[in-house]
Chains A and B, each alone.
Chain A
């Protein structure tokens, strides 16, 4: 027997067949690199993270403002570069309200004075130009926006971590032990959380307990794992009938080992994508809570609470509404696009969507 096998040629050992090793993550990266939109989104997200990480540097050296120092002489200042254009713009909107039709002839003047403003702002010394205006306490909106990203992105990341951990644990257990007591308990919890107004519960809790960003993230996190858990449960329900699980059982693996090293890797792509979407969701929820004035309290800036001060004044100071919204938009857009791209890249069996006419 031993001599027989030795005599056989070993077909796969030949150096002619050597080729670069293809790992799963290598494949994911190759797919991602070809996907221009996702790469652009990654660059955009990195840029947003970069400016928030460098916020103290940018605030002090480039813009010359602190996010919390107030200046009551500078309240509700329009963006400095548009300062001269602002009264003309307001005149324009007044003509629109009259019902006689807007006076579009004012626009060349608005354009030229804001362009002149931008030119003069570009050469001005740090600390003189409020690029995006000031808020109700005379703080620089752009500086606060950059600092606000620190809170919003941090909360997004924490929430994703918490909800992924809880969701994976609950989903794994309830999927693996489906139709047992564990599954029933998890389902009951999900059903309870699914039938009460969670946003309102969050609002009440955030009102009663003055929260740090971490506390708020924890609170949002423990209410946002249900989707992930359901997704995973459904997947595992079918995975646990597959042959490799059977094989694992046959060689005597413990349930924990099967769950952890055989089933979990098979759902990891779902978990990652759902976690990424949760980051965006958490940023939006935080914005809503802080906008209501119950999330992150001043003087700490967050994208939500920057809009809180604008409520009575949004017509005269629209930059207070627009700026934080654009920060949110850029961040969540990049996160959504990355999530979408990753979903395709992480799935080894993804096929092109064929266009068809119906």
Chain B
């Protein structure tokens, strides 16, 4: 078990490293380079560009830029032979040195007048987590009962209704369903607010809950469809096991069989489903946050897209990947703890 956790932990570190590589490559490969936002300014001259490149350290070799981006450049001064690789602004004043992604320094936003990116994200991330966990709760609360009902009534009308319903939901983008709900419930019936996270001047939990309801329901659609489908499949597997037949034969109550023998064994694969939801929630969120004007990370990213604010985009990508990788690690470890049948140390 310990060996498995260590191996998975190392694997996760490698994955994080790869994701920084991907992020950095995109940043470098962007047409016009990182200073592209300047190219629309007619007053800039070649001298200005060279000066800025020197200032931001963009004239250094790519490898040095990568190291400075990931690990920071403030320690360059203390290592002999590296001092001249510091960027212009870092050499001028040590306060301006990059601390690197590993120390959560993602540089400064172009759009928000040089505000540190990490501050922007710190402001937005609670809203994203709130939406993510609310939708996860709804997915569990809706998906698990649906899965159980469908499995217990296999091939009969409740199963068909649930299957048809989930297929229909799957055929349209879930943010589109959210948009329709918003038009009908928010705009025509005025039951829910049209967007945002709280009424200005009123930040009470009840008010936030009122704003949260519709986005959370819309964002949970993908989740409970997935949960109910996995659970139906797993329960059907378990229902045909010998020990279930034995339990029935010895006259155990139906509820007890389902609750203690079937559900207990069928529900563990849902844990692996959680990791997928983790990723989905963090990246797919951007569409819901846009539709519902939810002030989270996704909306920040959307603004960054429109203004080509690369530092913010990269930061959201890196943080999203890191959270995704850690979530996956967590789920894998959890899986072993919940399901005693899982053995570690095997290849696969």
Contact = CB atoms under 8 A, between A and B. Distances in A.
A96 B154 contact: no
A209 B31 contact: yes
Nearest to B163: A340
B171 A97 contact: no
B273 interface: no
A195 interface: yes
Given A96-B189, A197-B317, A284-B173, A355 B156 contact: yes
A321 B176 contact: yes
Interface string A279-315: 0100010011001111000000000000100010011
A77 B31 CA distance: 39
B18 A192 contact: yes
B173 A197 contact: no
Nearest to A287: B173
B347 A356 contact: no
A197 B298 CA distance: 12
Nearest to B186: A315
A126 to B, nearest CB: 30
A107 interface: no
B67 to A, nearest CB: 21
Contact of A204 (B282, B317, B324): B317
A99 B190 CA distance: 8
Interface string B28-44: 01110000000000000
Contacts of B291: 311
Interface string A316-358: 0010011001001100110011001000000000000111111
Contacts of A321: 176, 179-180, 183
B101 interface: no
How extensive is the interface on chain A, given as a class?
A: 35 or more
Interface residues of B, number: 57
A27 B173 CA distance: 35
B136 interface: no
Contacts of B321: 195-197
B69 interface: no
B68 interface: no
A356 B306 contact: no
A207 interface: yes
Contacts of B173: 284, 287-288, 291, 325, 328
B85 interface: no
A194 B284 CA distance: 14
Interface in A119-177: none
B182 interface: yes
A49 B337 CA distance: 50
A266 interface: no
Contacts of B151: 358
Interface in A231-282: 280
A329 B154 contact: no
B1 interface: no
B219 interface: no
Contact of B305 (A207, A336, A355, A358): A207
Interface in A189-204: 191-192, 194-201, 203-204
Interface string B166-192: 011011110110011011001111100
A189 B217 CA distance: 33
Contacts of A358: 151-154, 239, 254
B325 interface: yes
Contacts of A222: none
A179 interface: yes
A355 B155 contact: yes
B76 interface: no
Nearest to A207: B305
Given A195-B279, A200-B320, A205-B26, A325 B188 contact: no
A9 to B, nearest CB: 48
A212 interface: no
Contacts of A208: 26, 29-31
A356 B155 contact: yes
Nearest to A197: B283
Interface of A: 93, 96-97, 99, 179, 191-192, 194-201, 203-205, 207-209, 280, 284, 287-288, 291-294, 307, 311, 314-315, 318, 321-322, 325, 328-329, 332-333, 336-337, 340, 353-358
19 contacts: A96-B189, A194-B328, A195-B19, A197-B279, A197-B282, A197-B321, A198-B279, A199-B283, A200-B320, A204-B317, A292-B286, A292-B287, A292-B305, A314-B183, A328-B173, A332-B170, A354-B155, A355-B154, A356-B154
Interface of B: 11, 15, 18-19, 22, 26, 29-31, 151-156, 167-168, 170-173, 175-176, 179-180, 182-183, 186-190, 194, 239, 254, 279, 282-284, 286-287, 290-291, 301-302, 305-306, 308, 313, 316-317, 320-321, 324-325, 328, 347
